[in-house]
């Protein structure tokens, strides 16, 4: 947090920014990127919004300060602002060479962020990067209204599970209440986000939930997602979001595990827990990362091997 004043000065006094977030962006990555874009627009700065995966269709309702690009702009920026990345390699390979020659600002809320930026604004106690962006608005005397407020609200509800996860902060509630006072229509946004499922996603969920297994006397729940399921239902990885929460809600379950087979034969694992069980440490032991109650990573092995490895690690902490 010691670089906060320098970052505010940089946003006010410098120019030519590239705002970047992680591959396969979630609501916090997109919401905080869009919100920061509106801040830069209000400050009359030149900027671009970049995500190697592009803007997910489910967020196409957002009003944007500028179009998202999934390829880098022709000219290098002076500053690259990296959002919601606990690891600089999460942005994709294309941008990595630019990180060696451009100045970078790292804004994040993940535990054990290595502070890889030229300037770093990392708050591990924040529920999401959207909170950090909202705090910048306060420091810059920018009103959080309209499309800017909608973007920050998206970031907050995405990472707090609509204020139900244990990472939910009083500041998340406070800033949301202030945005509502200023005219934010949360009912409209909640309705848009809750009506994004396709029939194919329902069919995929049916196949995935059928794989549910319980271990450790019911304290560990596991689901598996295969490429053949995607083919059978004409779906993709973006359709899996939220499935893990169903098994986390099973009685007695302390850790929920989702194992997803990728096209390159790696396994993407996601971990969710309640209260005291720290899945971030489990993920870290396996080369991943995240938060205390929500973490993940990649394993180079088969689905069955991944299941054995992860269950083994979880048993050590239960």
Beta bridge partners of 121: 107
**Do both 61 and 111 map to the same domain?**
yes
pLDDT of residue 195: 83
Q: What is the pLDDT of residue 2?
A: 74
Q: If you ran DSSP here, which 8-state letter would residue 233 be given?
A: H
- What does the angle CA 254 – CA 268 – CA 195 come to, to the nearest 5 degrees? 75
pLDDT at site 278: 93
pLDDT at position 14 is 97
Number of domains composing the chain: 2
pLDDT lower than 50: segments of the chain: none
Whether residues 76 and 211 share a domain: the answer is no
Which helix or strand (DSSP H or E) is residue 11 part of?
Answer: helix 4-13
Q: Are residues 185 and 165 in the same domain?
A: yes
- Print the domain residue range for 223: 199-317
Q: Which CATH number belongs to the domain containing residue 37 in this structure?
A: 3.90.1640.10
pLDDT at 276: 85
Residues 132 and 204 in one domain: no
Question: Where a domain ends, among 174, 194, 214?
Answer: 194
Distance CA 85, CA 21 (A): 7
Are 303 and 220 found together in one domain? yes
In a shared domain, residues 181 and 148: yes
172 in the same domain as 59:
yes
State phi, psi for 21 to the nearest 5 degrees: -135, 175
Residue that finishes a domain, picked among 165, 194, 223: 194
3-state SS of 112-163 is CCCCCCCEEEECCCCCCHHHHHHHHHHHCCCCCCHHHHHHHHHHHHHHHCCC
- pLDDT tens string 262-289: 999 899 999 999 878 999 999 999 999 8
- Looking at residue 66, its pLDDT comes to 96
d(CA 152, CA 219): 35
pLDDT digits (tens, 9 = 90+) for 79-113: 999 999 998 889 999 999 999 999 999 999 998 89
- Whether residue 267 sits in one domain with residue 128: no
Same domain assignment for residues 204 and 159: no
Burial (Cβ within 10 Å: 0-12, 13-18, ≥19) of residue 157: buried
pLDDT for residue 1: 66
pLDDT of residue 238: 87
- CATH number of the CATH domain containing 256: 3.10.310.30
pLDDT score for 312: 97
pLDDT at res. 234: 98
């Amino acid at each position: 947090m010691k670089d906060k004043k320098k970052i505010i000065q940089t946003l006010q006094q410098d120019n030519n920014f590239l705002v970047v977030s992680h591959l396969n962006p979630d609501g916090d990555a997109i919401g905080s990127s869009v919100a920061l874009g509106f801040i830069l627009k209000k400050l009359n700065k030149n900027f671009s919004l970049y995500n190697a995966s592009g803007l997910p269709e489910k967020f196409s309702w957002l009003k944007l300060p500028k179009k998202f690009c999934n390829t880098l702009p022709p000219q290098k920026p002076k500053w690259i602002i990296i959002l919601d990345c606990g690891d600089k390699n999460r942005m994709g390979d294309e941008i990595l060479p630019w990180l060696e020659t451009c100045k970078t600002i790292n804004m994040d809320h993940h535990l054990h962020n290595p502070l890889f930026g030229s300037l770093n604004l990392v708050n591990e106690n924040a529920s999401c990067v959207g909170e950090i962006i909202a705090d910048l608005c306060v420091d810059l005397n920018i009103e959080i209204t309209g499309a800017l407020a909608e973007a920050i609200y998206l970031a907050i509800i995405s990472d707090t599970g609509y204020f139900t996860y244990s990472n939910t902060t009083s500041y998340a509630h406070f800033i949301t209440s202030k945005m509502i006072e200023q005219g934010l229509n949360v009912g409209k946004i909640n309705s848009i986000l809750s009506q994004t499922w396709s029939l194919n996603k329902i069919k995929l969920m049916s196949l995935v939930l059928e794989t549910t297994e319980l271990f450790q006397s019911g304290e560990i729940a596991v689901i598996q997602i295969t490429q053949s399921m995607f083919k059978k239902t004409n779906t993709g990885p973006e359709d899996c979001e939220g499935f893990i929460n169903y098994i986390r809600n099973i009685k007695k379950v302390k850790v929920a595990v989702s194992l997803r087979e990728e096209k390159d034969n790696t396994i993407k694992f996601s971990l969710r827990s309640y209260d005291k069980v720290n899945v971030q440490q489990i993920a870290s032991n396996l080369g991943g990362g995240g938060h205390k109650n929500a973490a993940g990573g990649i394993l180079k092995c088969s689905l069955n091997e991944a299941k054995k490895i992860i269950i083994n690690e979880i048993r050590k902490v239960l």
